[in-house]
């Protein structure tokens, strides 16, 4: 990965200079229909965590999730009673303060940069503003209905989960693929189970201090296959801290989002899917169309 601030045309991807959706271009009608055909029992596995007070976060960039009830039904009833409303109507409304990267969420392609460079030759100087992204925001992510593939690497070291700072290599992903008896191809969403998700809202301090995850070489193998997204049961998909590249910060994010246009889905809940024993399934994810946002909370599901 090399930074080039001046000649952004050198980084235009295969879908042309106006492309905003990256690897989601692989999501054809034919692939959606093939994915829906994988749903055989009608069972739905929820792959998202509940977002609640105290949700794990990495400060200072990730602020706490705070929800307050701004309007209470008792107050509304009282106010409307004063205006002679007869049916005692009440309503409850909340206000939420949070970053869009808390809980189970998807990263928009404009989430990270390599210097000034963003996906498809965009310049951060011209794209990032006080009120969000002028381009590459989460509103451009199309509905993702495609084939999901589960790669379970949690037992590589003999335990129920990998340890913090444990990189998952390309070869280990290949072995997990072979053990699952599946292939990985264009348009797939690959869900990587490290076991780390068992710490979510159980031991948040440990959960956010570091994590097992894929290294750059493993990420490159996935993007070479044409996947639309890489998903994992941890905060950042990639290994933290990175023992092979201690002076690099989030290189998998840079490779996936900036260089490849491949989305990252973080903080998945994968234990139930592992228990179900299904390595391929219909994966469904819809991002809230928050204009200019760098990410969105999501509720992905597996249809079995």
**Distance between CA atoms of residues 39 and 232, nearest Å:** 22
- The predicted pLDDT at position 13 comes to 83
In whole angstroms, give the CA distance from residue 69 to residue 53.
13
Signed CA dihedral, 262, 224, 33, 193: sign only: negative
pLDDT one digit per residue (tens) for the chain, 304 residues: 443 333 445 567 899 999 999 999 999 999 999 999 999 999 999 999 999 999 999 999 899 999 999 999 999 999 999 999 999 999 999 999 999 999 999 999 999 999 999 999 999 999 999 999 999 999 999 999 999 999 999 999 999 999 999 999 999 999 999 999 999 999 999 999 999 999 999 999 999 999 999 999 999 999 999 999 999 999 999 999 999 889 999 999 999 999 999 999 999 999 999 999 999 999 999 999 999 999 999 999 999 9
Per-residue model confidence as pLDDT tens digits over 23-82: 999 999 999 999 999 999 999 999 999 999 999 999 998 999 999 999 999 999 999 999
pLDDT of residue 4: 36
Task: Report the alpha-carbon angle 46-48-53, nearest 5.
Answer: 135
Domains identified in the chain and CATH numbers: 8-50+102-303 (3.50.30.50), 66-97 (no CATH)
Letter string b/e over residues 4-39, b meaning 16 or more CB atoms within 10 A of that residue's CB = eeeebeebebebeeebbbbbbbbbeeebbeebeebe
Phi, psi of 61 (to 5 degrees): -70, -30
Beta strands of the chain (E only): which ranges? 44-46, 66-71, 93-97, 105-107, 128-129, 132-133, 144-152, 167-168, 189-193, 213-214, 229-232, 263-266, 280-285, 295-297, 301-303
State the pTM of this model: 0.95
């Amino acid at each position: 990965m090399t930074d080039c601030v001046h000649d952004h045309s050198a980084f235009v991807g295969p879908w042309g200079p106006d492309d905003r959706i990256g690897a989601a271009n692989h999501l054809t009608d034919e692939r959606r229909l093939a994915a829906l055909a994988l749903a055989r029992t009608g069972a739905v596995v929820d792959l998202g965590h509940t977002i609640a007070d105290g949700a794990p976060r990495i400060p200072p960039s990730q602020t706490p999730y705070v929800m307050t009830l701004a309007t209470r039904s008792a107050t509304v009833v009282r106010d409307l009673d004063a205006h002679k409303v007869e049916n005692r109507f009440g309503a409850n409304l909340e206000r939420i303060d949070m970053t869009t990267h808390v809980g189970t969420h998807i990263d928009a392609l404009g989430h990270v940069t390599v210097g000034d460079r963003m996906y498809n030759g965009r310049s951060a100087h011209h794209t990032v503003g006080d009120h969000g992204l002028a381009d590459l925001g989460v509103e451009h992510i199309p509905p993702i209905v495609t084939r999901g593939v589960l790669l379970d690497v949690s037992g590589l070291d003999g335990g129920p989960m990998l340890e913090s700072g444990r990189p998952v290599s390309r070869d280990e992903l290949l072995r997990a693929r072979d053990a699952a008896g599946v292939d990985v191809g264009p348009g797939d969403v690959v869900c990587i189970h490290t076991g780390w998700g068992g710490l979510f809202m159980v031991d948040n301090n440990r959960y956010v201090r570091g994590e097992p995850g894929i290294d750059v070489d493993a990420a490159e193998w996935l993007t070479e296959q044409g996947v639309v997204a890489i998903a994992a049961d941890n905060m950042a998909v990639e290994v933290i801290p990175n023992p092979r590249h201690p002076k690099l910060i989030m290189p998998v994010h840079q490779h996936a989002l900036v260089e490849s246009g491949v989305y990252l889905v973080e903080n998945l809940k994968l234990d139930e899917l592992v228990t179900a024993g299904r390595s391929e399934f219909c994966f469904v994810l819809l991002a809230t169309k928050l204009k200019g946002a760098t990410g969105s909370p999501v509720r992905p599901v597996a249809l079995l």
